[in-house]
Each structure stands twice: as C-alpha cells, then as structure tokens.
Amino acid sequence: MQTEGTRLLRRSDIESLLSLRDCIDAVDEIFRLQGEGKVPAPGILGVRATGGGLHVKAGLLPGNRNYLVAKLNANFPANNARFGLPTIQGVIVVFDAENGAPLAILDSIDITIKRTAAASAVAAKYLARKDSSVATICGCGQQGRAQLRAVLLILPLTKIYAFDLDEPAAINYRNELSPELKIDIELVRDLPSAIQKSDVCITCTTANKSFVCKEDVSPGTFIAAVGADNEDKQEIDSALIASAKVVADSLEQSCAIGDVHHAIAHGLMRKEDVYAELCEIVAGQKIGRVADDEIIVFDSTGIAIEDAVAAAAVYERALADGIGTDFDFAA
C-alpha cells in the first residue's frame, strides 16, 4: 500500500500501534531470518559529543515490501538531571527499498524501549531456565519497566528484586509495577545477595564501571546485559563474561562496544570465545542452554534489524488504521 507523501508518527501514536507482545514476536522472527541468511548485516555509525553522542543504525528489511530503515538516536546519560529530558531521543526513518522514497518518520523512544526489551525476552526464551521464578532488575527507569513487562511474557517469574542508585526511582518502580503486574517486587540495597538468589538478572543502566561480579552469580543464571551501548559503558565484570557462555546480539558490536569489549581489552577472552549470536540460536543452528547449571550472558548492544522490524510494523499498522499525519518534502 502506498501512502501520499511521508507519514509522521508521534510517540503517542507509536505507543498505541506496537504492543510488547507483538514486538517480541517480530524480533524473534527477524532473528530467525537473520540466522537463516535472509537478512543482510546491518550497519552502525557513532559520533561522540560532550556528555553523550549520536549513533546511526541502518538495516534492510525484506518482506512482501522491502524497507530500508535508519535510526538516529542521541544518547546523553545526564539529560534527566541537567535538563529534565530523556537519556535517549531520536527519530527512525522508513524508506521504500525499491526507490528510496521516505515513507515515514517516527519518534524513536518507544520503539527503542520496546525492541530492546523484546530482544532480552527473546534471549530469555532460548537461554534462561524454563522454570525461572526470581529475577533481579538493575535500573528502574523506563527501560527497566519494559524489561520486566517483556520477560514476564516469557518466564513464570513470581519474585522481583529491584535495584537502582536513585532510591525514589526504585520506590516508584515498585509502587507502579507491583500492583499493575501482580507480582512481588522487593527493593534491595545489597545487590550481590539479590543476584545470588536470582535465576535471571537484567542490567539496564548507564554505568561505566562493572557491578555484577563473577562471585555473585549462582550456577544456572541467565544475565541480559543491556546497558553497554558504547565503549565507555560497562555493567558485567570481565571475569564473569570470560567464564560464562556468551551470546551476542551482534558479534562485531559486542566486541567493539558491549561488555565483551572490556573482557577482550583486559586480555581475558578473544572474539572467538563468544559462543554464538542470538540469530544462530533462534534459527536452530546452535543450541542455547544445554545444562541447568550454565551461566549464560546475553550481551545486548542493540542492532538495526530490531529497529527495522518494529518500525515497519508500526508504519504498516498506521497506514491500515489511518493514524499519523502525511506531509510532502517536495511541496
């Protein structure tokens, strides 16, 4: 279906057009297609600035109609404290892959939040123990909320430990999500003790120094390391990364900017020591969890195909439902 001009979609539009369940299913499917060699490798470009930076991720999405999708996200960790703005702000542009016409411009915040959480949920589906019941969530912002909502769609969790250096943020997290999700959320200050009692640990912070240590992780734990999306960020101790089974969303990105990057820089592992990319697991080319006592780390740096499949789904639903505003660049 061809729309007139370019469809402009605001954040409020996207929230109503893309559910977490649909996003998880779409990300699962695109990882399978990538593992089968049906999706070309995406690209990424980063530019640093004082206090943050801009990264551009682009990918080609095949289907009944092919799309080229590019996301431009500005990431400034101190934004909330300094300006009252979100850490991440940006736009996603959807192009027709046949002729390059710009089909849509979308606010990126909701898509980034949901596709990041969806990737962790897909990883948990294949890598966490099926009977996982206790999880620790590190980081009680919007991403921490989405991560919990997403993983609850995959695993039978009954107990959540929530940790954040900002205590009011943690309190708001518990007060909002515990009644909404009907799950016991306990705020913790002793993070090592909480992790030791957990089957799952999800880290979604802006930390630049590791805080999840090898000695604090029990056998069988699944860790989704989400926060390290540039070379200065780190959440997982390099000794833990080097000793665990590591699955990356993108091998190249994990070795360049993820938690794996730090373990390699410290001489504790090599690129070849990364067990698999998630797409290989989803496509059945490699086995995910093979034993209940394996410690598995998903190094999630965020890749363009996740943005592409989510943005394309939003665009097509917006056309079908008549949501958004059309404008013409050439007018």
Report which of 40, 75, 56 is spatially closest to residue 228, judged by C-alpha positions.
75
What CATH number is given to the structural domain containing 252?
A: 3.40.50.720
Is 1 part of a structural domain of the chain?
no
Domain that residue 34 falls in: 6-112+305-327
Distance (Å, whole) CA 95 – CA 9: 14
Distance CA 56, CA 324 (A): 24
Q: What is the average pLDDT value for the chain, to the nearest integer?
A: 94
* Same-domain check for residues 32 and 165: no
Q: Is 293 exposed, middle or buried (0-12, 13-18, 19+ CB in 10 A)?
A: exposed
Tens of pLDDT, residue by residue over 235-277, are 999 999 999 999 999 999 999 999 999 999 999 999 999 999 9
Per the structure, the count of domains in the chain is 2
pLDDT at 63 over 90: no
Return the SS3 of 25: helix
Give the pLDDT band of residue 4 (cuts 50, 70, 90): low
Instruction: Give dist(CA 199, CA 217) in Å, integer.
Output: 9
- In this prediction, residue 41 has a pLDDT band, given cuts at 50, 70 and 90, of confident
74 and 217 co-located in one domain: no
Residue 2 has pLDDT above 50, yes or no: no
> Please, is 82 exposed, middle or buried when counting C-beta atoms within 10 Å of its C-beta (0-12, 13-18, 19+)?
exposed
Which residues pair with residue 52 across a beta bridge?
A: 49
pLDDT of 74-114, one tens digit each?
Answer: 989 889 889 999 888 999 999 999 999 999 999 999 999 99
User: Quick check: helix, strand or coil at residue 280?
Assistant: helix
197 is catalytic: no
Indicate which residue of 57, 71, 125, 245 is catalytic: 71
Query: What is the per-residue pLDDT across 23-40, written as a single tens digit (0 to 9) for each?
Result: 999 999 999 999 999 988
Phi-psi region of 324 (alpha: psi -120 to 50; beta: other; left: phi over 0): left
131-155 mean pLDDT: 97
Evaluate if residue 128 carries a pLDDT over 80. yes
Please name the helix (run of DSSP H) or strand (run of DSSP E) that holds residue 213, with its range, or none. none
| pLDDT single digits (tens) 282-306 | 999 999 999 999 999 999 999 989 9
Alpha-carbon span 171 to 107, nearest angstrom: 29
CATH number of the domain bearing residue 58 = 3.30.1780.10
Mean pLDDT value across residues 326-331: 85
Measured in residues, the chain has a length of: 331
pTM, two decimal places:
0.92
